[in-house]
C-alpha cells in the first residue's frame, strides 16, 4: 500500500492540527473531534454500554487540518463511543486515541465529566515538596504486586484502593503497602504501567492473567483490572485518584511508567485504523519496523505523533497530578519530542521528573543522533537515564546470570562503581576506559544518572547473587546485597530501588516474569519479617541520604570539588566528601566499600572518627568511635565515617 509522504513539509502544513482532540465535554453538550486526514468519511458511533449492544452511527463533518467533528447536545457524561472511518475503500472501527475513559477491556471510549471523578479535597491536593531531582529516592512498584499476597493484610488486594489503605499489617505485624512505603522513607513511588493495557481480561476479578503492562491499548485511560468496577468507566479514574491522593497525603510523590515507544497491536491498532501508516515507522520494504522488540515502534518524529505524546503526558501531569515520568525504551523517542515534553512539564511544575531507559529494544530506522539514548543525554536537559554501567558494575552482566560484579567478587569493576558514585559526570579520578560500557561521562549533571541495582525486569539482585555465587552461603550473599544497596543509596544522582529489594525480593530465578503468576511476582511480606535486619539497613541508608546533602550534590562541579577518591587496593573503592555546601553539618565524610572476601586496611585523612554505617547497621547515629588514621574494613561491607568534631557539633546543635 502506498502512503502519502507523511514526513513532508506539505503534509505538515496541510494537516497538522494544534487544537484539542477527543470528546470535549461540557454539561450542555460534547464536541467530538478526531484527526483522520486520509479518511473519505468518518462516523461517530454511540453505544448504550461499554461492551454490549448495537451502536448508532452519526456522520461527522470534515473540518480544518484533517480533523472531523460533530457536536451532541445535552449532558453526555457516561456515553460510550467509537469512530468509524472509510480509508482506502475499507471501513474500520477504532477507539478514540484521546479517550479519557472507556468501557471494560478498553473496547469503547466514554465521555466523562472529570469533575465528577475527583475525590473530596482533590482540587486542593498539593505535590509533596521536592527542591531538586537529586533529593528523590524512588521505589518502583507494581500496584498489583504490592497487595496481591494473601498475607498482605490489605483488603482490596491487587487494586488501586489497596494501596490507599493505611496501617495494613502482614506476618508478625510488619507494615505493608502504603505504610511500608512511609516506614522505609522513600520520597517517590514509580508505578509500573497503570494506563489501560491490552492483555488482561478486566471482566474477571481477580483476573486470571498477569501482565506488567508494557502492552499499551488506551494511553489516557487508567487500567481497569486495578479497579473494583471496570464496567463503569468513571470508577477506575476515581479510584486511581484516591490512591494517588493517599500517597501524596503520606508525603510520597507519584511517578508513572509510560510506554510511548510502541503499542500492543500494530496493523489493527486504533492509531493505524484511523490513519493507516502514519503513526508507525516502517522499514525500506514498508513493513513495521521493530526497534521495540514488540512488533512496532511509534514514529515520534512526526508532528501529530509528537503532539499526541506531549498532550498525553501533559494530561496525566495535570488531571492526575503525576509527579514524574519514566519512559520505557526512551531511545526510540526522538530528542526533540523528549525536550518538548520537558518544556510542557516545566510550564506545569519544574519539579516533575523525567527519566527513562537510554536504549532501544532492537534496530530502528530513527538515526542514532536523533535517539534519546544514554550517549545523547547531554542534549536532554532536565531528563535522566538509567545508569546500567553502575548496575552491571555492581552485580555483573545483566544477561549472563553467572557473571559476577563488584559486590560478588568480579574483578576490574572498580572504575564502573566510581563512575556511578560520581553520577556519570566527568571526574578527573575516574578512568573511563575501564568502565564496563561507557567510555566517557555521558551525564552533564548528576541528576541525569538514575542509579540502581535491580528493577522489575531481569533477575532480582538476590536471585542474581544466587546465580553468580552458587557456593556462597546465605550470610555472604546478604552481605553482598547490603553492599550493593549502600553504593546505590550513597552515590551522586538519583537512587532507585525495586519494591522488595529492601527485604531480598526473589522471583525464584524468573528474570522475565511479565506473564508469570502472582505467586512469582507478588511481594512476600513474610520476607520483611525474616530479613528485618536488611530492611532496617536500607531504611537507615535512606535516612542518611535524606539527612545529609553531601550524598546528593546538585552539580557536576560540586561533585568534582567535594568528592575525592582515596588510593585503595583491588576490590575496594573509597572516597571523601569534604567542605560541602547546602548546609550539611558534617564537615568530612569517608565512604569505603570493600568487596573482598577478607578485611582490608584503609588510611584515613585524620584521627577522630565516628562510624555511622558498617556492614550490619546504617543510619545517622554514631555506632562507635574510632581513633587513629587507619581503619580495618571487614569483608564485603561498607563503612561510612564522619569526623568526630563535626558529628559532635551537629549532635549538640
> Annotated catalytic sites, by residue?
328, 357
DSSP 179: H
- Alpha-carbon Rg of the chain, whole angstroms? 26
Q: Which three cell numbers stand for residue 359?
A: 536504549
Q: Which three cell numbers stand for residue 234?
A: 468513571
Q: Closest Cα to residue 59, out of 34, 84, 35?
A: 84
- Judged by DSSP in three states, 86 sits in strand
Sign (positive or negative) of CA dihedral 23, 24, 30, 32: negative
Question: Which string of b and e fits 622-633 if b means at least 16 CB within 10 Å?
Answer: beeebeeeebeb
Residues 6+ apart with CB under 8 A from 499: 139, 140, 141, 142, 145, 146, 505, 523
Report whether 396 contacts 468 (CB < 8 A).
yes
- Judged by DSSP in three states, 293 sits in coil
Report whether 588 contacts 642 (CB < 8 A).
yes
Question: Which string of b and e fits 341-365 if b means at least 16 CB within 10 Å?
Answer: bbebbeeeeebbbbbbbbbbbeebe
The widest CA-to-CA distance across the chain, in whole angstroms, is 85
Q: What angle do CA 110, 116, 122 make, to 5 degrees?
A: 125
Report whether 505 contacts 460 (CB < 8 A).
yes
Q: Which three cell numbers stand for residue 158?
A: 491487587
Other CB atoms within 10 A of residue 189 CB: 26
**Any alpha helices (H) in 552-596, and if so which ranges?**
556-562
DSSP 207-232: -S----S-SEEEEEEE-GGGSS-TTS
Q: Which three cell numbers stand for residue 311?
A: 498532550
Sign (positive or negative) of CA dihedral 556, 557, 562, 568: positive
Q: Which three cell numbers stand for residue 246?
A: 493517599
Amino acid at each position: 500500500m502506498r502512503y502519502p509522504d507523511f514526513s513532508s513539509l506539505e503534509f505538515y502544513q496541510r494537516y497538522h492540527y494544534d487544537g484539542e482532540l477527543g470528546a470535549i465535554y461540557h454539561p450542555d453538550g460534547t464536541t467530538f473531534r478526531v484527526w483522520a486526514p486520509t479518511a473519505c468519511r468518518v462516523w461517530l458511533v454511540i453505544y448504550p454500554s461499554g461492551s454490549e449492544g448495537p451502536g448508532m452511527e452519526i456522520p461527522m463533518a470534515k473540518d480544518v487540518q484533517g480533523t472531523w467533528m460533530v457536536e451532541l447536545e445535552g449532558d453526555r457524561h457516561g456515553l460510550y463511543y467509537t469512530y468509524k472511518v472509510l480509508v482506502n475503500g475499507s471501513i474500520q472501527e477504532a477507539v478514540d486515541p484521546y479517550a479519557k475513559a472507556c468501557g471494560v477491556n478498553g473496547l469503547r471510549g466514554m465521555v466523562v465529566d472529570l469533575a465528577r471523578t475527583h475525590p473530596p479535597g482533590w482540587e486542593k491536593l498539593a505535590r509533596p515538596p521536592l527542591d531538586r531531582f537529586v533529593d528523590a529516592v524512588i521505589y518502583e512498584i507494581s500496584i498489583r504486586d504490592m497487595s496481591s499476597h494473601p498475607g498482605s493484610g490489605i483488603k482490596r488486594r491487587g487494586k488501586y484502593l489497596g494501596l490507599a489503605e493505611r496501617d495494613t499489617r502482614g506476618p508478625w505485624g510488619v507494615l505493608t503497602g502504603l505504610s511500608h512505603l512511609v516506614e522505609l522513607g522513600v520520597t517517590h513511588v514509580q508505578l509500573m504501567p497503570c494506563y489501560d493495557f491490552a492483555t488482561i481480561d478486566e471482566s474477571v476479578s481477580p483476573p486470571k492473567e498477569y501482565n506488567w503492562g508494557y502492552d499499551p491499548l488506551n494511553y489516557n485511560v487508567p487500567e481497569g483490572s486495578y479497579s473494583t468496577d471496570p464496567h463503569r468507566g468513571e470508577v477506575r479514574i476515581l479510584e486511581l485518584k484516591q490512591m494517588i491522593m493517599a500517597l501524596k497525603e503520606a508525603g510520597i510523590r507519584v511517578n508513572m511508567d509510560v510506554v510511548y515507544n510502541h503499542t500492543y497491536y500494530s496493523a489493527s491498532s486504533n492509531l493505524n485504523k484511523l490513519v493507516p501508516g502514519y503513526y508507525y515507522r516502517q522499514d525500506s520494504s514498508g513493513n513495521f519496523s521493530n526497534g521495540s522488540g514488540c512488533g512496532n515502534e511509534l514514529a515520534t518524529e512526526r508532528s501529530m505523533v509528537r503532539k499526541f505524546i506531549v498532550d498525553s503526558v501533559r494530561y496525566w501531569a495535570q488531571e492526575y497530578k503525576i509527579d514524574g515520568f519514566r519512559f520505557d525504551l526512551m531511545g526510540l523517542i526522538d530528542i526533540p519530542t523528549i525536550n518538548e515534553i520537558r518544556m510542557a512539564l516545566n510550564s506545569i511544575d519544574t519539579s516533575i521528573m523525567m527519566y527513562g531507559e537510554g536504549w532501544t529494544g532492537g534496530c530502528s530506522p530513527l538515526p542514532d543522533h536523533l535517539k534519546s539514548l544514554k550517549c545523547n543525554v547531554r542534549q536532554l536537559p532536565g531528563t535522566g537515564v538509567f545508569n546500567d554501567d553502575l548496575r552491571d558494575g555492581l552485580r555483573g552482566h545483566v544477561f549472563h546470570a553467572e557473571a559476577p560484579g563488584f559486590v560478588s567478587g568480579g574483578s576490574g569493576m572498580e572504575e564502573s562503581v566510581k563512575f556511578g558514585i560520581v553520577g556519570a559526570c566527568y571526574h578527573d579520578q575516574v578512568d573511563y576506559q575501564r568502565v564496563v560500557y561507557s567510555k566517557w561521562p555521558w551525564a552533564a549533571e548528576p541528576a541525569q544518572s538514575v542509579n540502581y541495582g535491580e528493577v522489575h525486569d531481569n533477575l532480582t539482585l538476590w536471585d542474581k547473587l544466587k546465580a553468580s555465587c552458587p557456593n556462597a552461603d546465605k550470610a555472604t550473599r546478604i552481605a553482598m546485597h547490603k553492599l550493593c544497596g549502600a553504593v546505590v543509596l550513597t552515590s551522586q544522582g538519583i537512587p532507585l530501588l525495586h519494591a522488595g529489594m529492601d527485604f531480598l525480593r526473589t522471583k525464584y530465578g524468573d528474570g522475565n516474569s511479565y506473564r508469570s503468576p502472582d505467586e512469582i511476582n507478588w511481594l512476600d511480606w513474610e520476607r520483611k519479617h525474616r530479613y528485618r535486619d536488611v530492611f532496617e539497613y536500607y531504611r537507615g541508608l535512606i535516612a542518611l541520604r535524606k539527612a545529609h546533602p553531601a550524598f546528593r550534590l546538585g552539580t557536576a562541579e560540586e561533585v568534582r570539588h567535594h568528592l575525592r577518591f582515596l588510593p585503595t587496593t583491588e576490590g575496594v573503592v573509597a572516597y571523601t566528601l569534604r567542605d560541602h555546601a547546602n548546609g550539611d553539618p558534617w564537615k568530612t565524610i569517608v565512604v569505603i566499600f570493600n568487596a573482598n572476601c577478607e578485611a582490608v586496611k584503609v588510611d584515613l585523612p585524620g584521627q577522630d572518627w565516628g562510624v555511622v554505617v558498617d556492614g550490619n547497621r546504617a543510619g545517622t547515629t554514631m555506632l562507635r568511635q574510632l581513633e587513629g588514621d587507619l581503619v580495618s574494613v571487614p569483608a564485603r561491607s561498607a563503612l561510612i565515617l564522619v569526623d568526630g568534631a563535626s558529628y559532635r557539633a551537629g549532635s549538640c546543635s
